[in-house]
Amino acid sequence: DAGVIQSPRHEVTEMGQEVTLRCKPISGHDYLFWYRQTMMRGLELLIYFNNNVPIDDSGMPEDRFSAKMPNASFSTLKIQPSEPRDSAVYFCASSRQGASGNTIYFGEGSWLTVV
Amino acid sequence: AQKITQTQPGMFVQEKEAVTLDCTYDTSDQSYGLFWYKQPSSGEMIFLIYQGSYDEQNATEGRYSLNFQKARKSANLVISASQLGDSAMYFCAMREAYGQNFVFGPGTRLSVLP
């Protein structure tokens, strides 16, 4: 079975440009998470969806960040305009609904560098 | 409030020896799950082991075991017979039944010495 698929794997962009990160969760998973990882702040939850509906976006840094999940098999995280401090690894992850034992599976991450 | 605490930023262990990575958590839920993930230098997050709050026995997966002490709210990861390939960051995480969110600790960097 295919895992969580993220694209692009690596992106280098100039400050001020729009960045779009994409994610395809594991088929049948009801939850989708976006995390950001930096050396300074570790793993931070940005937003998560349940059945395509955003449940908690309190981790989204500011209005420059937005996330959508138009259907069960696709989600995007957009940064507009991007800033150097947005440089990080962005992980998408998914899990099934149900008991707390349903583990979360991560994509390989999107490594973003804003110069 | 910090829900997951990992007090060891870095650990060293000799190859073939056992090592324990500490994790304490904070929740008022009765039903929750505890997880450990490994992140090697290549960056991917690899699921290692899971412990449910109602499980009476400690979870084991190969060389990994989880020392679960519910009253102390601790969920330490034990790696037996360390291998060089175990060198990585290790994250403890919790998922509460209510809310369904995953919360991660700051991680412990384990270095296995030959």
User: Quick one: tokens of B80?
Assistant: 């037996």
Considering only the beta carbons, identify the residue of A35, A45, A101 that sits closest to B50.
Answer: A101
The residue with tokens 């296995």 is B112
Cβ contacts from A onto B, under 8 A: 61
Shortest Cα–Cα distance, A91 to chain B (Å) = 9
CB contact under 8 A, A106 and B43: no
* Alpha carbon of residue B33 to chain centroid: 12
Convert the pLDDT of each residue in A24-63 to its tens digit. Answer: 999 999 999 999 999 888 899 999 999 999 999 999 988 8
CB contact under 8 A, B100 and A55: yes
A43 vs B: CB within 8 A:
yes
Shortest Cα–Cα distance, B26 to chain A (Å) = 15
A111 vs B: CB within 8 A:
yes
Q: Please, what is the average pLDDT of chain B? A: 92
Tell which phi-psi region holds residue A109, choosing left (phi > 0), alpha (psi between -120 and 50) or beta.
left
CB contact under 8 A, A103 and B35: yes
CB contact under 8 A, B43 and A99: no
Q: How confident is the model at residue A97 (pLDDT cuts 50, 70, 90)?
A: confident
Q: Which residue has the higher pLDDT, B98 or A82?
A: A82
B64 CB-contact burial (10 Å; exposed 0-12 / middle 13-18 / buried 19+):
middle
Indicate the SS3 state at residue A84. Answer: helix
- Mutation target vs B (from A100, A102, A104, A105; most B CBs, 10 A cutoff): A100
Convert the pLDDT of each residue in A47-56 to its tens digit. Answer: 999 999 999 9
DSSP track, B69-105: ETTTTEEEEEE-S--GGG-EEEEEEEEETTT--EEE-
Shortest Cα–Cα distance, B88 to chain A (Å) = 14
Mean pLDDT value of segment B17-24: 97
Query: Distance (Å, rounded) from C-alpha A18 to C-alpha A31?
Result: 26
CB contact under 8 A, A108 and B44: yes
Mean pLDDT value of segment B38-55: 93
Read off the DSSP letter of residue B58: P
A111 vs B contacts (CB less than 8 Å): 43
Shortest Cα–Cα distance, B13 to chain A (Å) = 23
Q: What is the pLDDT of residue B86?
A: 97
